[in-house]
Structure 1
Amino acid sequence: MVFRKLKSEAEIVYRHLLVLKTVMEKQPVGIFKLSDILNMPKHRVRYSLRVLEQSGIIVPTQYGAMIRDEGYDKIEEMKNDIQEIKNLLVDIEDLLNKL
């Protein structure tokens, strides 16, 4: 299917955002606690935390992950990005419906 990779990537982004939301609510919070709260395997939590850290949104501390001060600006950027993606998806849907 043409959209298989897009769907898979969207599911991964959703998981990253679930981890981010939980970090925001429970910070500082570690991998084991996140895994328990989200009922998600530790290796997936660890990967999401790594992606969020590399994106400059969170920072690891000795007590667990926390949102960086600059992380809130990055979250606002993501909100803008998702609007652009939504607009593109509307264009894709319109084009698909014309086929």
Structure 2
Amino acid sequence: MIDRLEKEVDMLERHLEVLRMVIENEPIGIVKMSNETGYPHHKVRYSLRVLEEENLIEPSSQGAITTERTEEFVAELDEKVDEIVGKLESMKIHASEKNEA
């Protein structure tokens, strides 16, 4: 179960890295992103597809570009990550309390 969570976090980290590259270098293509991040082309392509489904990027003839929603998402990201970290910390505390009992 924890292994699956770790894989999901790794995937989210990759999606956010790809999004950061689009924000900083738009328009940008798969090959350049793959070369600069070290992620295989198929993983970059998957991240781009996920980001497009979330309406955070869109394709153009020169490569991926941001959308109107991107800025709002980035502005809310820290708060949402903090909420998730808080939940995980709470789970960690509850688990250690149960082990002490």
Relative to the length of structure 1, the TM-score reads: 0.91
SS of 1:34's equivalent in the other structure is: helix
TM superposition shift of 1:54: 0.6
Whole-angstrom distance in 1 between the partners of 2:76 and 2:52: 16
User: What stretches of structure 1 of length at least 5 have no aligned partner?
Assistant: none
- Give the structure 2 partner of residue 64 of structure 1: 63
Verify the 8 A CA contact 1:56 1:74 in the aligned structure 2.
no
Bigger Rg, which one: 2
What does the per-residue CA deviation read over 1:37-59, in whole Å, with 9 as the maximum and x for residues that have no partner? 11111000000000011111111
Do 1:57 and 1:75's aligned partners in 2 also have CA atoms closer than 8 Å? Answer: no
2:30 match: 31
Alignment check: 8 A CA contact 1:23 1:65 kept: yes
Equivalence for 2:87: 88
Deviations 1:23-80 (A, max 9, x none): 1111100111111111111000000000011111111111100111221112223333
Question: Using the alignment, how far apart are the partners of 2:14 and 2:69 within structure 1?
Answer: 21
Q: Structure 2 CA distance, aligned partners of 1:80 and 1:56?
A: 20
SS in 1 for 2:80: helix
Count matched residues.
98
TM-score by length of 2: 0.90
Query: Cα RMSD over matched residues?
Result: 1.1
